[in-house]
């Protein structure tokens, strides 16, 4: 039952890393621009209040946001184009406001989005057709916006393709009975949607990680997706296990890491990765989809990285028959990848819920997506350091890392720059 406006001093919560929840109160006034200072927050829920004014465009600087819920308020004006820069966004709910204007085409860039609710506003124009709007697996709702048009699957009128006399007459003579049925269907769907959204809203007693449920995939589906873990699907292997490319039943391409259970080290590595991956999430860390475990199988399912590992690009000539070395990546690309890795290490050491020491940073453990963005992978040797875990939690107590990449006394970033310099100028 909190009242009044949200104070500008909220900017002092700049180190808030996970979840800001002010929902279901009686707050009024505008949303302060200073909310963008909470740049590390992964979820912001200010739904079910009496807030007015514009949605601050500065929210686009909260690049860690995975969930943004501003529903059931009285926000006016247009949806800021800057929301299209929130590339980590998974859930976006702006329903039950007074927003107007078109849906920004910049939202097409949100590749991680799984749920979008813009229903019951005053939005107008055509729904964008590209990007995630073309993905039929994403949950989207646009009902309650009379000025919107788009595909029939969204329960909206079709956008006019011509202004011919026949089209105008057809629109005027649309059967009144059909219109009534359509309105009743919209009201019924709106009621069911509101119930569903109410159930799915973040509860103040639960953390964000309890709400972001992971997909359930059986061993049989993984077996089919990888053609029986065939050698033709093998992406790489190590002493702890092998990684296979797989295509799930819904067409999603994944990477399946299968652990060797012939010795205790494989199972320890599996447990170590699970302990770490359930507590961390960052745009420069490889994203886990789910795990699969039984008495005879331990596996992790990751987002597929189409450009493979950094090692493949640095040493792409090793399997060639010629003796001349060729530099595969330019200095700018290498520097960007080094910065991506540095961001990931900074997050693990300083900003994650618990401190994580990777212990095995090397080119084969840096994976590249389709945009050549670096993602740190393989936490089988990682150490968790935090109050809840004693001094540490690790898969092994022996010397960590891979020979050739253990550099005691040398700053990691200096080591990366040395590698970049060597590759850029082809120094052997």
Domain span holding position 61: 3-206
Is 213 among the domain residues? no
This model's pTM is above 0.85: no
Is 211 among the domain residues? no
- Over residues 220-238, the mean pLDDT reads 88
Query: Are residues 258 and 112 part of one domain?
Result: no
**Residue 394 predicted with pLDDT over 60:** no
Strands 122-126 and 26-30: unpaired
pLDDT at residue number 72 = 94
Is 99 among the domain residues? yes
pLDDT at residue number 159 = 84
The phi-psi region of residue 372 (left if phi > 0; otherwise alpha if psi is between -120 and 50; otherwise beta) is left
User: Of 206, 228, 258, which closes a domain?
Assistant: 206
Strands 355-357 and 43-45: unpaired
Query: Are residues 242 and 176 part of one domain?
Result: no
| Alpha carbon distance 332, 264 (integer Å) | 42
* CATH classification at residue 381: 1.10.510.10
| Alpha carbon distance 353, 193 (integer Å) | 34
- Over residues 266-283, the mean pLDDT reads 83
Is 58 among the domain residues? yes
Residue 207 binned pLDDT confidence (cut-offs 50, 70, 90): very low
Per residue in 240-260, pLDDT (tens digit) is 788 999 998 888 899 999 988
pLDDT at residue number 144 = 85
The share of the chain scoring above pLDDT 90, in percent, equals 24
* CATH classification at residue 138: 3.80.10.10
* Residue 153, SS3 per DSSP: helix
| Alpha carbon distance 280, 353 (integer Å) | 7
Number of domains in the chain: 2
Q: By C-alpha distance, which of 317, 309, 325, 306 is closest to 424?
A: 325
Is 403 among the domain residues? yes
- Residues carrying an active site annotation: 360
Residue 68 binned pLDDT confidence (cut-offs 50, 70, 90): very high
């Amino acid at each position: 039952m909190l009242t009044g406006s949200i104070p500008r001093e909220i900017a002092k919560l700049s180190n808030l890393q996970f979840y800001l929840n002010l929902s279901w109160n009686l707050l009024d006034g505008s949303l302060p621009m200073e909310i963008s200072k909470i740049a590390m927050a992964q979820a912001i829920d200010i739904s079910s209040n009496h807030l007015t004014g514009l949605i601050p465009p500065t929210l686009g600087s909260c690049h860690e946001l995975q969930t943004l819920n501003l529903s059931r308020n009285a926000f006016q004006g247009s949806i800021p184009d800057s929301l299209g820069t929130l590339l980590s966004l998974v859930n976006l709910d702006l329903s039950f406001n007074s927003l107007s204007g078109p849906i920004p085409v910049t939202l097409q860039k949100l590749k991680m989005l799984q749920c979008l609710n813009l229903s019951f506003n005053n939005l107008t124009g055509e729904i964008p057709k590209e990007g995630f709007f073309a993905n039929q697996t994403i949950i989207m709702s646009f009902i309650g916006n009379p000025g919107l048009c788009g595909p029939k699957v969204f329960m909206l009128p079709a956008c006019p393709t011509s202004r011919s006399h026949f089209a105008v007459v057809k629109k005027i003579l649309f059967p009144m009975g059909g219109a009534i049925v359509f309105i009743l269907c919209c009201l019924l769907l709106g009621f069911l949607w509101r119930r569903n959204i109410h159930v799915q809203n973040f509860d103040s007693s639960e953390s964000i990680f309890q709400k972001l449920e992971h997909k359930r995939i059986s061993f049989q589906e993984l077996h089919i997706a990888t053609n029986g873990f065939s050698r033709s699907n093998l992406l790489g292997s190590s002493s702890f296990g092998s990684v296979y490319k797989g295509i799930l039943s819904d067409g999603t391409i994944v990477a399946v890491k299968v652990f060797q259970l012939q010795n205790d080290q494989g199972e320890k590595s599996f447990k170590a990765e699970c302990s770490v991956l359930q507590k961390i999430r960052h745009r420069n860390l490889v994203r886990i989809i789910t795990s699969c475990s039984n008495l005879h199988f331990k596996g992790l399912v990751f987002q597929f990285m189409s450009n493979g590992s950094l090692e493949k690009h640095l040493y792409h000539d090793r399997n060639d028959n010629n003796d001349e070395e060729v530099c595969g990546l330019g200095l700018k690309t290498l520097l960007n990848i080094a910065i991506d890795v540095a961001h990931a290490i900074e997050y693990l050491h300083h900003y994650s819920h618990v401190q994580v020491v990777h212990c095995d940073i090397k080119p084969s453990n840096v994976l590249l997506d389709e945009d050549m963005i670096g993602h740190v992978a393989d936490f089988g040797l990682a150490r968790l350091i935090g109050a809840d875990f004693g001094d540490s939690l690790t898969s092994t107590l022996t010397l960590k890392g891979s020979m050739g990449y253990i550099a005691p006394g040398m700053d990691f970033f200096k080591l990366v720059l040395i590698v970049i310099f060597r590759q850029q100028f082809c120094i052997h």
